[in-house]
């Protein structure tokens, strides 16, 4: 029996599945596993902690093959550093590191063609064309892109809260909720918190905005509408890569677009309006994609 480990390491959490190649043995969730330049070893430590939790639940000490798809490993230096960090952690005999987008495509379409729209802390759309070439739109980070992602939603809400406080913008109902999620007391402390918060911490405020939108807060609704429009636009920007192949399958992934999350329905509604697209409502589990890659690897 080969023990396979599939890991989806994102900006908000790390998801782990342990399998014997035929059935799932255990799952675990840990802290953020995304890699930032020069900090791959810290990510390796967090990923390994989540992996050990899953292995312990399965009654195991180590796996045979681990495939980790991590955000932030698009460059060879970060990928190599994370791979070496995981080897040192000794959670598996063989370590394979790839990008988180590879996992999403594998989980959604196997070797087939289609587009995966990922909405999490950031946002990106990745598509495999019928000729096998992979294309992407978005995913440029919190300073240059990631439109429609949780960070962008929360950042817009913080701006709106500041404008409302100064009477330079419409009143909002979500300022207190933002402060509560930031674990501070009131607007003044929220201002101080925001100047030191990292993108992941800011993104964690997005649920307050989407909750306020569901209650009918006009400011929150405008932010949520813009986010849904931006996410759908990422998919549309990939259509040119598919030539005359229509309709193009589209799957949704990421915590922001998971089943039951507020933005999933409006994004699907926008995608269904385009006859060139065929949205798939099944949930995509990137960690399952990692397992599939592990099963094909030597020793898997």
Domain membership flag for residue 37: yes
User: Is the pLDDT confidence value at 300 over 70?
Assistant: no
Give the strands of the sheet with 248-253, arranged side by side.
134-138, 123-128, 114-119, 248-253, 277-280
Domain membership flag for residue 220: no
Over its C-alpha atoms, the chain yields an Rg (Å, rounded) of: 20
Domain membership flag for residue 80: yes
pLDDT band at 141 (very low <50, low <70, confident <90, very high): confident
Average pLDDT of every residue of the chain: 93
| Total domain count, the chain | 1
Tokens of 238: 């990939």
Domain membership flag for residue 40: yes
List pLDDT tens digits, range 265-274: 999 999 999 9
> Which residues, 6 or more positions from 206, have their beta carbon under 8 angstroms from its beta carbon?
150, 151, 153, 154, 157, 256
Domain membership flag for residue 160: no
Domain membership flag for residue 266: no
What's the pTM value of the predicted model, to 2 decimals? 0.87
pLDDT at 77: 87
The CATH code of the domain that includes 57 is 3.30.420.40
What is the signed CA dihedral for 231, 233, 235, 240, rounded to 10 degrees?
-160
Domain membership flag for residue 256: no
The H or E element spanning position 99 is strand 92-99
Domain membership flag for residue 200: no
With the C-alpha atoms ordered 42, 46, 47, 49, is the resulting torsion angle positive or negative? positive
User: Is the pLDDT confidence value at 298 over 80?
Assistant: no
User: Is the pLDDT confidence value at 1 over 80?
Assistant: no
Determine the structural domain holding residue 62 and report its residue range: 4-105+286-296
């Amino acid at each position: 029996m080969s023990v396979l480990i599939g890991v989806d390491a994102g900006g908000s959490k790390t998801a782990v599945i342990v399998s014997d190649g035929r059935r799932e043995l255990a799952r675990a969730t840990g802290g953020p596993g995304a890699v930032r330049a020069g900090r791959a070893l810290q990510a390796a430590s967090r990923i390994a902690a989540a992996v050990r939790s899953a292995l312990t639940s399965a009654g195991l000490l180590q796996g045979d093959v681990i495939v980790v798809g991590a955000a932030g490993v698009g460059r060879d230096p970060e990928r190599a550093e994370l791979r070496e960090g995981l080897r040192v952690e000794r959670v598996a005999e063989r370590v394979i590191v790839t990008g988180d987008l590879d996992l999403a495509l594998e989980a959604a379409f196997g070797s087939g063609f289609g587009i995966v729209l990922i909405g999490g802390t950031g946002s990106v759309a990745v598509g495999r064309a019928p000729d096998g070439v992979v294309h992407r739109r978005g995913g440029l980070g919190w300073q240059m892109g990631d439109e429609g992602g949780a960070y962008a939603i929360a950042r817009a809400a913080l701006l709106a809260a500041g404008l409302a406080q100064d009477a330079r913008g419409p009143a909002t109902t979500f300022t207190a909720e933002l402060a509560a999620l930031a674990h501070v007391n009131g607007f003044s402390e929220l201002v101080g918190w925001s100047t030191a918060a990292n993108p992941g911490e800011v993104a964690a405020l997005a649920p307050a905005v989407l909750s306020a939108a569901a209650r009918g807060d006009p400011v929150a609704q405008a932010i949520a509408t813009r986010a849904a429009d931006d996410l759908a636009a990422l998919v549309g920007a990939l259509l040119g890569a598919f030539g005359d192949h229509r309709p193009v399958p589209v799957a949704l992934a990421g915590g922001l677009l998971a089943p039951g999350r507020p933005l999933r329905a409006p994004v699907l509604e926008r995608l269904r309006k385009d006859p060139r697209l065929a949205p798939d409502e099944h949930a995509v589990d990137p960690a399952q994609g990692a397992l599939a890659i592990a099963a094909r690897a030597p020793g898997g």
